[in-house]
Structures are given as C-alpha cells and as structure tokens.
Amino acid sequence: MPVRLLGLGDNTVDTYVDRGLQFPGGNAVNVAVLARRLGAETGYLGCLGADEAGMLLCGALRAEKVDTTRCRVRPGANARAFIGHDGQDRRFLRSERGVRGEWGPFDAEDRAYIAGYDLVHSSVYSELGEALAIVRDAARRLSYDFSERWTDENLAATLPAVDIAFLSYPAASDEECCALLGRCVTLGAGMAVVTRGARGSMALSAGRFHGHGISPAPVVDTLGAGDGFIAAFLMAILAGAPMDAALAAGADHAAQVCGYQGGFGHGATWSPAEAAVS
C-alpha cells in the first residue's frame, strides 16, 4: 500500500523574468508533486489565487494526480516569485505573497482530511500562524522546512510541534551544523536534517550524527533541488529506511531535479505585461 503524504502550506509561481517563463512551485507543492512521482499518494492543501497563476498551479497539480479537494481558491492574485539568472545561478529579485496566507478556519472536514495522511509537510513560508497547532493535532507526523529563514525565535516556537525538521545552512562548518542539529532536537524535533548545497547534508536522529555528499548531476536548473531532496528523504523514512539510506535517496533525487527547468516542469510563457495587469 503506498504511503500518503500531504503538502500543506506555501505555493508560488516561479517567474523567470529574463527567460519569459513561469513555473508552478513552492515548497509544499513541490514536495507533494515529487513524492507523487516517487510513488506516494499525495494531496496539497493551500490557498490559491483566482487568477491565471493560481489556475496554472491548480492545473499542474491535477495533471500530476495530486489531490486538491481541500484547497482554498481566494479572490485576488496568487503568490509569485520573480527570479533572474547569472548563467545557471538564480537570483531572487522579489516576491508577492498574494492570497497565500488567507487560510480562514480549519473545519472538521479539513482536520479529518489532514489525519488521513501518513505525514504532513509544511514550511516557514506557509503563513500558518496559530493554525499550525491545529495541523499538529490532526497530523500523524509533521515535517517542516525552515529553509534559510530559521531564527532562534521561530525554532523555539515551531520545533516542539515538528517530527522531522529541515534547515538550510550552506556556508556552515561541520561543527556549526552539528550544533544547529543538536539545538533542533533539544527544542523538540524528533530528527533534524541540514542541507548544505555542494557540501551535501547532515542529520541527527536517535542521538547519532550522519552525513552524506551530493550526487553528480548535469545541471539545467537548481530550483526545486532542495524540495526534491526532502521528498525522497521523506519517502525513504516512511518506508523504514535507515538514515544513511534516506540521505542518499535525497541526494540522488535532488540531482535528478536539477535536470529540468522549474520545481517540477509545467512551464508556461510569461511577459512583463502580465505583471502589470496582476
């Protein structure tokens, strides 16, 4: 029986201004889609705009057979990130949050829907606020990506609710990564994982540190590689794999995601005129 994973929270449309392209994305969306491609039954619960960008996301999710029955579609613009490039390296120019945080109440049907998944994945960009406690109460297991946006304050506030924590710390030494992992577990996370860009990843679980390098890849676009790591890592953990194997699975899948544009493809053309209208 396949595992069931729910992406709950952030979405965006990644807009490559210098290439005239836009792609559906966002951490919770990407993890749901990529886990689906790896064999999970997945859903996405988030707030989509009632505009062209929101419809791009909705269409891509449905094409990937990710369940969207509990999504909110709100009047207004969808979240959007504007991205430039220096060769293959991307530069985040600015973002528009749109309706992403317009959650409204979580009713009994929402809570039952959340409880139907083996694991719920969310992120620091999801704007859940006090609703995180409701999600935690309903979820069997909760993973959470802090990206590089972790602070002493949000770690202390969030980690007691988290089973699996992900953080990005690309410039840190081994000692600094170990200290951060230890702090996360002390604050309440069941296990913690740090991704380090070209240095690979480290994790702390059951009192033991683990490390793994990157997998070689012909790089087309690095956008979504971290989400690809998370999706494969979670799939491995849910299947009962040991930590070293889960880190290796994450590295291999991150390399695969680097082989195409966008977090999971489904690109469409974009022009500056669309930004003016929205």
Q: What percent of the chain has pLDDT over 90?
A: 91
Mean per-residue pLDDT, 163-182? 97
pLDDT of residue 277 exceeding 60, the answer is no
Q: Domain 4-277 maps to which CATH number in 3.40.50.620, 3.40.1190.20, 3.40.1080.20, 3.30.565.10?
A: 3.40.1190.20
Torsion of CA 227, 231, 236, 240, to 10 degrees: 120
pLDDT (0 to 100) of residue 34? 98
The length of the chain, given as a count of residues:
278
CB 29 within 8 A of CB 57: yes
Q: How far apart are CA 8 and CA 236, in angstroms?
A: 20
Tens of pLDDT along 16-34?
Answer: 999 999 999 999 999 999 9
Q: How far apart are CA 184 and CA 262, in angstroms?
A: 30
Task: Please return the burial class of 208, using the count of CB atoms within 10 Å of its CB with bins 0-12, 13-18 and 19+.
Answer: exposed
CB 152 within 8 A of CB 127: no
Q: How far apart are CA 229 and CA 232, in angstroms?
A: 5
Bridge-based pairing state of the strands 142-145 and 268-269 = unpaired
Mean per-residue pLDDT, 183-210? 97
Q: Extract the tokens encoding 47.
A: 């707030």
Tens of pLDDT along 219-272?
Answer: 898 899 999 999 999 999 999 999 999 999 999 999 999 999 999 999 999 988
pLDDT of residue 213 exceeding 50, the answer is yes
- What predicted TM-score, i.e. pTM, was given to this entire model? 0.96
Which residue type is seen at 134?
A: I
Say which residues have a Cβ less than 8 Å from residue 266's Cβ, sequence separation at least 6.
23, 24, 56, 59, 60, 63
Say which residues have a Cβ less than 8 Å from residue 150's Cβ, sequence separation at least 6.
124, 167
pLDDT (0 to 100) of residue 90? 81
pLDDT of residue 136 exceeding 80, the answer is yes
Per-chain mean pLDDT for the chain: 95
Per-domain residue ranges of the chain? 4-277
pLDDT of residue 14 exceeding 60, the answer is yes
pLDDT of residue 126 exceeding 80, the answer is yes
